[in-house]
A and B are shown apart, each in its own frame.
Chain A
Amino acid sequence: DAGVTQSPTHLIKTRGQQVTLRCSPKSGHDTVSWYQQALGQGPQFIFQYYEEEERQRGNFPDRFSGHQFPNYSSELNVNALLLGDSALYLCASSLMGAEGYTFGSGTRLTVV
């Protein structure tokens, strides 16, 4: 039973570029949440997708957008990258109405 899969594991981008991160949820899960974790900090909630719609959103600018596909997988897109976007991006999947999250290993994004 595969857990949450995130790709790529590491990524280096130049300031001003755009990036897409991908997440495949755990089998049986239908909800995907994205978190940003800066070095030495706790994860910060970006947004959550359920039934292919953004259900909740944290305090992040519109440069951060996402998508959920019919197979429940999800993408996180960040436009006009800033140096401050450098972080570990974590995907967590869950089953709507049930408790508990399964986290992926994350994508390490470095903006230079």
Chain B
Amino acid sequence: KQEVTQIPAALSVPEGENLVLNCSFTDSAIYNLQWFRQDPGKGLTSLLLIQSSQREQTSGRLNASLDKSSGRSTLYIAASQPGDSATYLCAVTSSGFGNEKLTFGTGTRLTIIP
């Protein structure tokens, strides 16, 4: 059974700092890994999707890396801003036949201090 862990559960950093969020998964036989953002009481916004054959994906100030063999992914946020405050969730899918279920971690609650 796939299990996804995110550490730390909460993180507070001053505005402008670069930061790294961590995600680990127990079964390396994944199809892809996604990072989502969730604002309080809201739905999920997809940030980055990494295929199992890829090592990283970038979008603006965000960079996600994937090391499938070690069961780890990191989300790097450059030059953090107060608007980045949210909960960040990683999720994996374990099959390539279209739209398989997502297995989520419990998230990291990020607070950027102005």
Residues of A within 8 A of B (CB): 4, 6, 31, 33, 35, 40-45, 48, 50, 56, 58, 88, 90, 92, 94-106, 108
Q: How large, as a class, is the contact surface on chain B?
A: 20 to 34
Provide the bound-state CA to CA distance between A42 and B66, in Å. 20
Contacts A45-B103, A102-B46, A106-B41 known; list 20 others, CB within 8 Å.
A33-B99, A35-B102, A41-B106, A42-B4, A44-B104, A48-B99, A88-B41, A94-B99, A96-B98, A97-B98, A98-B99, A99-B49, A100-B46, A101-B46, A101-B99, A101-B102, A103-B46, A104-B43, A105-B43, A106-B43
Provide the bound-state CA to CA distance between A104 and B46, in Å. 12
Residues 85-105 of chain B: 1 if any A CB is under 8 Å from the residue's CB, otherwise 0?
Answer: 000010100000011111111
Q: Chain A residues near B61 (CB, 8 Å)?
A: none
Provide the bound-state CA to CA distance between A10 and B32, in Å. 32
